[in-house]
Chain A
């Protein structure tokens, strides 16, 4: 490996990862982003902030999460699989790590009103949860189409006291919910904190979401050494939609001599057009405030992605992933809907763990013939969330009427 990552310090001051990242937003939001940068910088050196966050992660979210040696699938595969159990967090996924970090920032910035976008509803539930915990007003934007598909999460958010606003513009899905959140933020920028759920959006969001999620990789590193006596695993694997669980897992290992794999959603197949493989099939573009890889047509219009997993069903991807892809530090593979479904059943039956359909894409990679994994390797997979939320989708795909 070259030395690029020995002293890795991106993004630069303006939020760029070389040509990726930046702040492509209406001028009205620039002061808000600068204020956020200022408070975030301060929080990094503030031991009171760090202690409060640590305590919330430990006692409220339930960290640290286990690093579990999946013995039965390891035996079947011929290499050792270690699952980083983010599914064991409060609210059932890694999303809470970031929601807790950002809500503390919002409080320090004196913002009383929290807004967020959500696709499947996992991030929305995490935000509604932390807003309830701190007694803040919470509005979640969700596409009309997603509200229909994810009734259970919509009800959960309402139980937590959040207002769920239906977005009827554009394709009525996650990207439009994000547009609507940005419009709300532009209009109420003085009072409102926009709590973005992934490593996307304008600087400093991709950086701070990565940093709040980097607890995943830090814990993994320590646990791996303690549990195996070895220095490092041979390989890391994580699914990539916007890319927050993956950045959280990868960040602590970028400078290490190990292979890192991101797995995108190939949907019904890369040639079908119905996929969400942004890095594999997208082109350079700007969406939701950042330059990155983007699924778009020849006229620069954003095209609709598809994945069986709502959390991966996004036409953009975090700018840092675009950079890691371009430099070759991370290799990006894909897994199709059917492979993810098969992996979902496989892990459930073999290990007694229902994985989120997002995480099932990372698991599917383990079973692909051309994955390059050698016998005897130690492979860490980020199990980003639990699969309870996907039971209806899986039942539908299997033709089971619940």
Chain B
């Protein structure tokens, strides 16, 4: 069974840290993902760096640019996931912009996913009406295409998106890019309830989530939360990025 499906069959609080592949150093990703899993991450999202990340705020943009400057490629990311798979069974989703997948080709990309042990793919610039061919291929290979919904997505569209995705969708918390400030709790709550009512699949929430309080609050209304920019920012200026990441994830999970 797909590891994401197995995870979301369990009704529990879920934390999904995001890590940019190849950041802060090319060879850190394997150890960081394993550290995250050991610290209590329920699933890990690995970002494929892209030259033009239009849905990302300054922190993830800068991390992507740095990883690209150091020479990260999609093939290297698959090798890293393959190595991670020898050490942990934590569900892994790749997050990337569509051009990276298009250039490799849907089939080749999905074959690499299957071979390396990738469970899902999040594509922030592949909306419903462009997503069908990729989603059908991914599902036939047992890889979850994780499509996005936003606060201004209509209820009907949430239904259609979740049906096409099938296994899991990603609700963007705000109108904005990654790392932005959150809006009012009232507005968020009614949005998340609307996603719950209309989604045919479990859903996680991401963008702007950074504290233990956020993790608890969002888990009341969603099936899990993604923390990205805050994880990367936490590494800034630290000598031991593994130790600090472990501690930060434990804090987010409420493990003391």
9-residue interface stretch from B111-119, B173-181, B218-226, B240-248: B173-181
A109 touches B (CB below 8 Å): no
Indicate if the CB atoms of A27 and B103 lie closer than 8 Å.
no
Q: How far is the CA of A170 from the CA of B147 in the complex (A)?
A: 26
Closest to B152 in A: A31
Indicate if the CB atoms of B98 and A186 lie closer than 8 Å.
no
Q: How far is the CA of A299 from the CA of B72 in the complex (A)?
A: 10
A286 touches B (CB below 8 Å): yes
A59 touches B (CB below 8 Å): no
Over the window 128-158 of chain B, the binary record of Cβ atoms lying under 8 Å from chain A Cβ atoms (1 yes, 0 no) is 1110000000000000000111111110010
- Contact A183-B54, Cβ < 8 Å, known A26-B148, A26-B150, A286-B99: yes
Indicate if the CB atoms of B103 and A190 lie closer than 8 Å.
no
Question: B169 CB to closest chain A CB, in angstroms?
Answer: 10
Question: A65 CB to closest chain B CB, in angstroms?
Answer: 35
Indicate if the CB atoms of B52 and A287 lie closer than 8 Å.
yes
B17 touches A (CB below 8 Å): no
Q: Which of A22, A169, A186, A283 contacts B130 (CB 8 A)?
A: A22
Indicate if the CB atoms of B68 and A23 lie closer than 8 Å.
no
Question: B225 CB to closest chain A CB, in angstroms?
Answer: 18
Contacts of B50 in A (CB 8 A): 300-301
A175 touches B (CB below 8 Å): yes
Closest to B177 in A: A183
B100 touches A (CB below 8 Å): yes
Indicate if the CB atoms of A26 and B74 lie closer than 8 Å.
no
Q: How far is the CA of A287 from the CA of B54 in the complex (A)?
A: 9
B57 touches A (CB below 8 Å): yes
Indicate if the CB atoms of B51 and A170 lie closer than 8 Å.
yes
B193 touches A (CB below 8 Å): no
Q: How far is the CA of A356 from the CA of B71 in the complex (A)?
A: 38
B104 touches A (CB below 8 Å): yes
Contacts of A60 in B (CB 8 A): none
- Contact A296-B129, Cβ < 8 Å, known A186-B175, A186-B176: no
Question: A293 CB to closest chain B CB, in angstroms?
Answer: 12
B22 touches A (CB below 8 Å): no
Indicate if the CB atoms of A179 and B54 lie closer than 8 Å.
yes
Contacts of A14 in B (CB 8 A): 129
Over the window 27-61 of chain B, the binary record of Cβ atoms lying under 8 Å from chain A Cβ atoms (1 yes, 0 no) is 00000000000000000000000111111111001
Indicate if the CB atoms of B175 and A187 lie closer than 8 Å.
yes
Q: How far is the CA of A294 from the CA of B56 in the complex (A)?
A: 21
Over the window 184-214 of chain B, the binary record of Cβ atoms lying under 8 Å from chain A Cβ atoms (1 yes, 0 no) is 0000000000000000000000000000000
Max chain A Cβ within 10 angstroms of own Cβ: one of B61, B62, B103: B103
- Contact A288-B152, Cβ < 8 Å, known A22-B130, A23-B129, A300-B103: no
18 additional A-B pairs beyond A27-B148, A301-B68, beta carbons within 8 Å, are: A26-B127, A27-B124, A27-B161, A28-B150, A30-B153, A169-B61, A170-B65, A175-B52, A179-B53, A183-B54, A183-B57, A183-B177, A186-B177, A189-B152, A286-B97, A300-B50, A300-B100, A302-B52
Sampled A-B contacts (12; CB under 8 Å) = A23-B129, A24-B130, A26-B150, A27-B161, A27-B172, A28-B150, A170-B51, A285-B102, A286-B97, A288-B52, A296-B99, A300-B103
